[in-house]
Amino acid sequence: MSLPSIGFLQRLSLIVMLGVSAGAVLSWGVLRSRLASLRDVEPHRRLQRLLFWTACPAAAGLLMAAVGLAPSWLHEIGVGHDHCHTPSGHVLELCLLHTGHLPTSSAIGWGLIGLVVGGVGLQWASDLQKLGHAHRTIQRLEDVPRTDASESQPYQRLAVDEPIAATLGLLFPRIVISEGLLETLDASHVDAVLAHESHHADRRHGLLCWSARLLSRLHVPALQSTLLDDIELACEQIADRRAAEQVGGPVPVAEALVEVKQSQLDRLGATMTPPSSMAFDEHRLERRVRDLLETEWRTPNLWPPAVALASGGFVLAAHEPFHRAMEMGLGVFW
320 alpha-carbon distance from chain centroid: 32
Rg of the chain taking only CA atoms, in angstroms: 25
Q: Is 32 in the site for another protein (CB under 8 A)?
A: no
Question: Which span sits near another protein by CB under 8 A: 89-97, 101-109, 142-150, 302-310?
Answer: 142-150
User: At closest approach, how far in Å is the CB of 123 from another protein?
Assistant: 12
Q: Is 23 one of the binding residues for another protein (CB under 8 A)?
A: no
Q: How many residues bind another protein (CB under 8 A)?
A: 67
215 binds another protein per the rule CB under 8 A: no
When the beta carbons of 72 and 167 are compared against another protein, the nearer one is: 167
The answer to whether residue 196 forms part of the interface with another protein (CB under 8 A) is yes
Calculated CA dihedral for residues 236, 242, 245, 247, nearest 10 degrees: -70
- In this structure, the dihedral spanned by the alpha carbons of residues 27, 33, 34 and 37, taken in order and rounded to 10 degrees, is 160
Q: Tell me which stretch binds another protein (CB under 8 A): 28-36, 69-77, 261-269, 301-309.
A: 261-269
Q: Judged by CB under 8 A, does residue 255 bind another protein? A: yes
154 near another protein (CB under 8 A): no
Name the pairing type of β-strands 165-168 and 156-158.
unpaired
Residue choice 74, 131, 308, 328 for contact with another protein (CB under 8 A): 131
In the set 79, 100, 140, 301, which binds another protein (CB under 8 A)? 140
Q: How far is the CB of 138 from another protein (least distance, A)?
A: 7
**Does residue number 220 form part of the binding site for another protein (CB under 8 A)?**
no
Q: Which of 13, 27, 72, 167 binds another protein (CB under 8 A)?
A: 167
Pick the binder of another protein from 11, 75, 83, 205 (CB under 8 A).
205
Using CB under 8 A as the binding rule, whether residue 281 contacts another protein is answered as no
- Residue 153 binds another protein (CB under 8 A): no
Instruction: Tell whether residue 125 is a contact of another protein (CB under 8 A).
Output: no
Contact status: 144 vs another protein (CB under 8 A): yes
**Interaction of residue 280 with another protein, rule CB under 8 A:** no
Judged by CB under 8 A, the stretch of 34-42, 79-87, 202-210, 306-314 that binds another protein is 202-210
- Closest to 255 (Cα-Cα) out of 296, 289, 286, 287: 289
CA–CA separation, 27 vs 6, rounded Å? Answer: 31
CB 234 within 8 A of CB 291: no
Stretch that binds another protein, among 51-59, 63-71, 99-107, 163-171 (CB under 8 A): 163-171
Interaction of residue 224 with another protein, rule CB under 8 A:
no
Given a contact cutoff of 8 angstroms between Cβ atoms, the answer to whether 167 and 200 are in contact is yes
Among 197, 230, 291, 327, binds another protein (CB under 8 A): 197
The yes or no reply on residue 200 touching another protein (CB under 8 A) is yes
User: Which residues sit at the interface with another protein, rule CB under 8 A?
Assistant: 127, 130-131, 133-135, 137-138, 140-141, 143-145, 158-160, 162, 164-170, 176, 178, 193, 196-197, 200, 205-206, 209-210, 213, 232, 235-236, 239, 249-251, 254-258, 260-262, 264-265, 268, 270, 272-276, 283-286, 289-290, 293-294
